[in-house]
Amino acid sequence: MLKRTLIGLIRSHEQTGEKATRPELKTRYYKLSRDKLWEEVISILKKKPGYKLLHEVKNVGEIVLEKRTVTGRVQDITLTVFSLNPLKSAIDIYSASRGSLGDLGSNYRTILDIFKSIDAKLKEHKISN
């Protein structure tokens, strides 16, 4: 966690992906169709305190959120929900803070917070990487 904070002194974004070096930042996979995963994720995010749903573009699988941090900075968060096959889908997240200073690891923590909520609700559908 200290390393994330130190990186956050200069970096103001974080993202998940297939090639992420940290396991907690790897793409998440679920045994659900893209449409079902989309519905579940939208439902979870709408109920999540502190997050404001700005855009839902279902045909490209993009969900855009905004979150205000305790320091008053705004984070722009994009979730991408994509289909791998008719019964398997995945989620990636990109989070960036507005402004020029680093985020002290807050985008990293935001991604983990969102994944924690999704994984808790969809644990029986999650595919371990």
pLDDT 10s digits, 35-50: 999 999 999 999 999 9
pLDDT tens string 5-31:
555 456 688 999 999 988 999 999 999
Sketch out the chain's domains with CATH numbers. 2-127 (3.30.310.220)
Q: Provide the pLDDT for residue 129.
A: 63
* 3 state DSSP class of 63: strand
Helices and strands in the chain: count of H runs, count of E runs: 3, 7
Rounded distance, CA 70 to CA 34, Å?
A: 33
Q: What is the pLDDT of residues 89-101, one digit of tens each?
A: 999 999 999 987 7
Reported confidence tier of residue 3, pLDDT bands at 50, 70, 90: low
% helix, strand, coil for the chain, step of 5: 35, 35, 30
